[in-house]
Structure 1
């Protein structure tokens, strides 16, 4: 039998009395979580949900999330996690495209979901508390777990839709089981005594596989924070003895600022994992100095369940590298024509392995474009060194071509993050009549720091080739970010330049 929910049943048998999930005053043991998912699965069956039916869920990081998630899987359903911040129009697209028969919503997002469900004919149920009974009518618990095939869809994850409408990546039970076990056993080295920080959105692949599913696979504790705040995060980490922190670069920068401003200590931390975007090397080293924990970077996409590469804990680490392919995964770099690039050259990352999605739901053209000859084209540009370590250069679509020369925004951002006054930075290309594209930098300064745009421009100019430095430099109070804290370059509007030379 293959069903991702077997992870929970196994841990409930081995670690029934241990705390599985914690959110403030709410704590569920593995035995309680297992029982709650069985009751929810039974209630779903009473609602007419059958194996293969899609069930949408819209919830923040609360203890009810894993109950609903594993309950749907236990009943043989397909989980369709939705960002709780979606508006009705966006949620309606997901419900319609996935064919969800039922939507389960938390009260914080119930209004938009209910409106979307009404327009798509989807049944919608809203919970008013953390109790399963508040979400679905009482029903006999489901005995056992519905058997599913390896390649049956377990999860439909909708991409952020950088071009056109979002695409639903279909991940199978095998995709998720293998990637979860690989993450828990070979990358995070988890045991029942570990406590993982659950500040990454659980509707997102990173939070699901690396925090929730990996924690459950190991019989560890997941402590949740619905909305990331660095000061509050430090308090939770100290209170619950967090040993493994998982986050995106913006979280690391915020934690560093909070710790240096007198925030709580996190002395139990042994490991920190960064993904979702490139972590500036300066931030990585600063976090390790201040927190005394090793930071390991990894790489993945929703389409790869998500982990594809990692700086393995039993091998030498390369700061600034995404590491090497994980167990069961192959990676290579391709030119535009699909042929392998020369050693040392930059190419597009292609991934093949047990973690790669079966395709995009209802979108054969997008599937055919992404999956070619058994390889997933990621759209990420990288180089690989002589020891097989991959270094992300940039997104293929973010490449700036200035006067015929390639400029990789990440390289310039690394230089900007080395400036003592800069907290965050984003480099983008803007149309230019002379050079085709011009390099522009938007910068957020650290609290209490000052730096003129001219000085920032000159700082970079001294450190990179003449064609690379940003001629346009603008200061901003905030950069647009997605739900995981990743900077959204597609939403950046470059203001009229105060500096351009």
Structure 2
């Protein structure tokens, strides 16, 4: 089953409906399919055979979905990559994935071009619509998708590489097809009348799978936003009458704190993932805009949605919901043994969403999936009804004087402080305790930072062993291309003495 069959289906059922929009450009489902068929023909004419890998470098413009589905139609696997990467970084990804060709949106292509030249890899620049800038001889569109097994790799998505080199998660056609249909039918409850705002990068699994792939299944319109700006996105929601939105917590925080007056009453379903959504942000956004946010949980290795809140189930405060269909989730201890309800342990996942493995890394695959259950590296607890509560990343847990401290729990409290707009809690090396607790905070406009005030605020709300002893102000927190706060990149101020 080729994932691209979903595009064929929607083009047949909704030929004249808008599939893609970006700025003033709109593309119907018929045109979307035809453009992708032409790109599939270009790939074949370039000598690239089915069952090989294509690199795709593009921002959120129509070129991305056109090339993505074109490569799938041609029977290839796709490695989506950020245009913000350097040539050196791209060389690693091209070589590690054994890419045979690269297609890049021309304004985003300079680093990819340089990388491809260095390693002798053919690169084709494409326009905003995904068409080649230069003519390719003997090109005939590929009208029918090349047959692929459901177990064949459709996409290789690279993990963030927080420890060691990034690894390529092999997501199959079945993985992504199941995820897209689950998102469409049970979480978004969407159809061809919906308009989804897609400002999440499409080279990231959340934007790709829960965004464009789900919209294609529904026959809905994908309104592409090349770069997130809270005012621009809010205005677009209003002008489009958009019904669906997916974002990471920092996007919701930015929209909540946007000073403009925006009308978002058309929004029916909002999705949040990629990191924990602070309750203060969730409640504030819903109060201000009247839209409901459904938070979920997943990883690149789980396609990504493994657990999600959705309209058909009760929302429980602090929970990311229940496992999606075809997926099982457990909480286990360090030995892989299941723990009781309410006990914190590692989240493990199995089912239709779990990747086939890491490309070219059988040992890493065996370590991540030793017994059919994927080890997430995340800590959580589950209640008696199966609702999952995320506690923190195992690697972000702070051990202070023998006590386990979970940064997310402290961050939730700090988000309640009226002066704090964003916060990240990290461990600081300490000679006696092993680690001490530090917090970097971004202060809201119109407020002044006072460490004494914040510490007093914490004293009333947090147990002594969990209170941050060192709090400092920063202008902004480091984030990745998706907008996720990078705790590992945060450093204490120069000269700070950890006592």
Q: Compute the TM-score of the two structures, normalised by the length of structure 2.
A: 0.98
Q: How many angstroms apart in 1 are the aligned matches of 2:217 and 2:380? A: 32
Please tell me whether the aligned partners of residues 331 and 350 of structure 1 are also in contact (alpha carbons under 8 angstroms): yes
Structure 1 residue 31: Cα displacement: 0.4
The aligned counterpart of 1:233 is: 233
The aligned counterpart of 2:23 is: 24
The aligned counterpart of 2:408 is: 410
Structure 1 residue 129: Cα displacement: 4.1
Structure 1 residue 266: Cα displacement: 1.5
Per the alignment, do residues 136 and 94 of structure 1 end up closer, same or farther by CA in structure 2, a change over 3 Å counting? farther
The aligned counterpart of 1:486 is: 484
The aligned counterpart of 1:217 is: 217
Please tell me whether the aligned partners of residues 454 and 473 of structure 1 are also in contact (alpha carbons under 8 angstroms): no
The aligned counterpart of 2:307 is: 309
Q: How many angstroms apart in 2 are the aligned matches of 1:129 and 1:243? A: 25
Structure 1 residue 133: Cα displacement: 4.1
Please tell me whether the aligned partners of residues 311 and 317 of structure 1 are also in contact (alpha carbons under 8 angstroms): yes
Structure 1 residue 457: Cα displacement: 1.4
Please tell me whether the aligned partners of residues 68 and 78 of structure 2 are also in contact (alpha carbons under 8 angstroms): yes
Q: How many angstroms apart in 2 are the aligned matches of 1:22 and 1:135? A: 24
5 Å matches for 1:281-360?
Answer: 281-360=279-358
Please tell me whether the aligned partners of residues 271 and 294 of structure 1 are also in contact (alpha carbons under 8 angstroms): yes
3-state secondary structure, aligned to 1:166: coil
Once the two structures are overlaid, the 10-residue window that deviates more, 104-113 or 154-163, is: 104-113
Once the two structures are overlaid, the 10-residue window that deviates more, 78-87 or 124-133, is: 124-133
Structure 1 residue 273: Cα displacement: 0.8
Q: How many angstroms apart in 1 are the aligned matches of 2:177 and 2:441? A: 40
C-alpha distance after superposition, 1:245-269 (max 9, x if no partner)? 10000000000111xx123312211
Structure 1 residue 448: Cα displacement: 1.4
5 Å matches for 1:169-188?
Answer: 169-188=169-188
Structure 1 residue 136: Cα displacement: 5.7
Q: How many angstroms apart in 2 are the aligned matches of 1:498 and 1:263? A: 41
Q: How many angstroms apart in 1 are the aligned matches of 2:497 and 2:186? A: 48
The aligned counterpart of 1:273 is: 271
Q: How many angstroms apart in 2 are the aligned matches of 1:312 and 1:455? A: 39
Superposed CA RMSD = 1.3
Q: Compute the TM-score of the two structures, normalised by the length of structure 1.
A: 0.97
Q: How many angstroms apart in 2 are the aligned matches of 1:26 and 1:262? A: 26
Structure 1 residue 93: Cα displacement: 0.5
Please tell me whether the aligned partners of residues 381 and 388 of structure 2 are also in contact (alpha carbons under 8 angstroms): yes
Please tell me whether the aligned partners of residues 328 and 353 of structure 1 are also in contact (alpha carbons under 8 angstroms): yes
Structure 1 residue 458: Cα displacement: 1.5
Structure 1 residue 240: Cα displacement: 1.3
The aligned counterpart of 2:88 is: 89
C-alpha distance after superposition, 1:129-181 (max 9, x if no partner)? 43514366262211211000111100000111111111000010011101110
The aligned counterpart of 2:118 is: 119
Please tell me whether the aligned partners of residues 36 and 73 of structure 2 are also in contact (alpha carbons under 8 angstroms): yes
Q: How many angstroms apart in 1 are the aligned matches of 2:95 and 2:487? A: 28
Q: How many angstroms apart in 2 are the aligned matches of 1:421 and 1:168? A: 40
Q: How many angstroms apart in 1 are the aligned matches of 2:335 and 2:128? A: 54
Please tell me whether the aligned partners of residues 53 and 101 of structure 1 are also in contact (alpha carbons under 8 angstroms): yes
5 Å matches for 1:413-428?
Answer: 413-428=411-426
Once the two structures are overlaid, the 10-residue window that deviates more, 14-23 or 47-56, is: 47-56
Q: How many angstroms apart in 2 are the aligned matches of 1:136 and 1:396? A: 51
Please tell me whether the aligned partners of residues 474 and 499 of structure 1 are also in contact (alpha carbons under 8 angstroms): no
Stretches of structure 2 lacking an aligned partner (at least 5 in a row):
none
Please tell me whether the aligned partners of residues 347 and 376 of structure 2 are also in contact (alpha carbons under 8 angstroms): yes
3-state secondary structure, aligned to 1:423: strand
3-state secondary structure, aligned to 2:56: strand
3-state secondary structure, aligned to 1:132: coil
Q: How many angstroms apart in 1 are the aligned matches of 2:242 and 2:26? A: 15
Please tell me whether the aligned partners of residues 196 and 245 of structure 1 are also in contact (alpha carbons under 8 angstroms): yes
Q: How many angstroms apart in 1 are the aligned matches of 2:209 and 2:160? A: 18
The aligned counterpart of 2:58 is: 59
Structure 1 residue 345: Cα displacement: 0.8
The aligned counterpart of 1:130 is: 129
Q: How many angstroms apart in 1 are the aligned matches of 2:86 and 2:233? A: 27
Q: How many angstroms apart in 1 are the aligned matches of 2:447 and 2:364? A: 46
Q: How many angstroms apart in 1 are the aligned matches of 2:128 and 2:326? A: 40
The aligned counterpart of 1:369 is: 367
Please tell me whether the aligned partners of residues 62 and 128 of structure 2 are also in contact (alpha carbons under 8 angstroms): no
Please tell me whether the aligned partners of residues 474 and 497 of structure 1 are also in contact (alpha carbons under 8 angstroms): no
Please tell me whether the aligned partners of residues 425 and 439 of structure 2 are also in contact (alpha carbons under 8 angstroms): yes
Per the alignment, do residues 315 and 136 of structure 1 end up closer, same or farther by CA in structure 2, a change over 3 Å counting? farther
Q: How many angstroms apart in 1 are the aligned matches of 2:134 and 2:61? A: 14
- Mapped pair 1:167 → 2:164: no
Please tell me whether the aligned partners of residues 195 and 243 of structure 2 are also in contact (alpha carbons under 8 angstroms): yes
Q: How many angstroms apart in 2 are the aligned matches of 1:289 and 1:337? A: 43
Determine which of 373, 391, 394 is the counterpart of 1:393: 391
The aligned counterpart of 1:464 is: 462
The aligned counterpart of 2:197 is: 197
3-state secondary structure, aligned to 1:282: helix
